[in-house]
Amino acid sequence: MKTLRAWCRSRLRLLLVCVLYSCACLQFVRFYVRSSDFYLNMHAYLAGTERLPFQERILPVFLMRQIFHSNAIMHLLVHQQGIADREHAPFYLLSLAGTFATAILTQMLYAKVSKWQTLPMLVFPLLLFCMLWTYVLHVEANFSYPYDLLSLAFFTGGLYCIHQSKYAVLLAVMLVGTLNREPTLFLVGIYLIDSASRNAQQGPVSSEGSHWFSSRGLSLRNIAWARTGLLFAVWLLVKVAVAYYFRHNDNSENFVRFVYNAERLRVRLIPALLNICGYLLPVVLLYWSRIRPLRFGNYILILVMWVPVMLYTGVLLETRIYGELCSWTAIAITVLAEERVAKAVRSHGMPAEQGLNPTDQTSSAVVTLADAA
């Protein structure tokens, strides 16, 4: 009887956590849609005549057209007590779907990455914190786009597929996700890093004083070059096909931005430029060497590719260009905190496995959120 009551209490707590976090998602998306400036001309975007490179991100076009043509959905969103005006109702719905998908996928990835799984309830608040600062809290360039939160969901799904070695699903994510937005290119780089890190476990794999590359468990001999090349080929095929189809669109905003970004580097803008995943990604970089498992920590090496590409094609003040890293950052901060807690427990003479029980019903409530979904 006691076991049954305990099970019922744990299920009830899980349900309440799901409800509270769902409300947080709803409130975040409402604030995002209402407070940011929608940068695109919605009519031109749906008609296929918007400026480049924005028009090339065509997945939301197909989805929003279906939403606009659904009287039931539009009535639900736009009636007198609705939550969005008619023009932006599909944008709201896509952003909501992207946020929920990201939250669930991030929790699923955390459950696979974390050794201890003692701070699962910290993951979603950290994710929401990163997203809020990345996509909403801006003084300059507070713009929103219909593909941004979907892009975060696709990228998080890609990270999960890479970590769990689900290559066929990853190919599908690359194909569909690239139709949404091109940062799926960085999944190719992370896949390469992941395959090179297959020898990396919880700690360094070589003795002290060895070469840094080996100390991170990295080996070029482990890289699956053929599979990496196929991922890149899928990305390139989609990009070339879409670019060719919209080759006659206005190209005035599709230019190399090295000089543009350099001209906007001002001291007063430093706080805005450092707003990368809610200022948490720079914190992760400071403690990066402590992230365990090493294989997951190595994913941050993608910044070697990410930063130059964004200097070339992005606007640095729009720190949403790093938004796809929000889920990775939330998990990295959580596992860093868990390592600190484990260290403190060990310092008091208690085995970490005893002090940090990953099977505790309360602490594992949110870990099971993905399974419940």
Instruction: Give a three-class secondary structure readout of the chain.
Output: CHHHHHHHHHHHHHHHHHHHHHHHHHHHHHHHHHHCEECCCHHHHHHCCCCCCHHHCCHHHHHHHHHHCCHHHHHHHHCCCCCCCCCCHHHHHHHHHHHHHHHHHHHHHHHHHCCCCCCHHHHHHHHHHHHHHHHCCCCCCCEECCCHHHHHHHHHHHHHHHHCCCHHHHHHHHHHHHHHCHHHHHHHHHHHHHHHCCCCCCCCCCCCCCCHHHHCCCCHHHCCHHHHHHHHHHHHHHHHHHHHHCCCCCCCCCCCCHHHHHCCCCHHHHHHHCCCCCCHHHHHHHCHHHCCCHHHHHHHHHHHHHHHHHHHHCCCCCHHHHHHHHHHHHHHHHHHHHHHHHHHHHHCCCCHHHHCCCCCCCCCCCCCHHHHC
- For residues 142 and 18, give the distance between their C-alpha atoms in angstroms, rounded to a whole number: 30
pLDDT value at residue 288: 92
pLDDT value at residue 82: 63
Residue 216 has pLDDT above 90, yes or no: no
- Per the CB < 8 A criterion, the answer to whether 217 and 204 are in contact is yes
pLDDT value at residue 364: 44
What is the distance of C-alpha 273 from the center of its chain? 19
Instruction: Please check whether residue 349 lies inside any domain of the structure.
Output: yes
Instruction: Please check whether residue 4 lies inside any domain of the structure.
Output: no
Looking up tokens 């001002």 gives 266
Instruction: Please check whether residue 3 lies inside any domain of the structure.
Output: no
Instruction: Please check whether residue 1 lies inside any domain of the structure.
Output: no
- For residues 356 and 348, give the distance between their C-alpha atoms in angstroms, rounded to a whole number: 13
Residue 166 neighbours by CB under 8 Å, 6+ apart: 160
| pLDDT more than 70, % of the chain | 87
Count of domains observed in the chain: 1
Instruction: Please check whether residue 312 lies inside any domain of the structure.
Output: yes
Domain residues for the domain of 213 are 10-372
pLDDT value at residue 80: 54
- For residues 110 and 119, give the distance between their C-alpha atoms in angstroms, rounded to a whole number: 10
The pLDDT tens digits of the residues spanning 232-286 come to: 999 999 999 999 999 999 999 998 888 888 887 888 888 888 999 999 999 999 9
pLDDT value at residue 362: 38
Residue 137 has pLDDT above 50, yes or no: yes
Instruction: Please check whether residue 2 lies inside any domain of the structure.
Output: no
Instruction: Please check whether residue 94 lies inside any domain of the structure.
Output: yes
Residue 324 has pLDDT above 90, yes or no: yes
At 207, list the tokens: 């003795």
Residue 226 has pLDDT above 80, yes or no: yes
Q: What are the backbone angles phi and psi of residue 38, rounded to the nearest 5°?
A: -70, 115
Residue 204 has pLDDT above 60, yes or no: no
Instruction: Please check whether residue 5 lies inside any domain of the structure.
Output: no
B/e letters for 231-261, b = 16+ CB within 10 Å, e = fewer, are bbebbeebbeebeeebeebeeeebeebeeeb
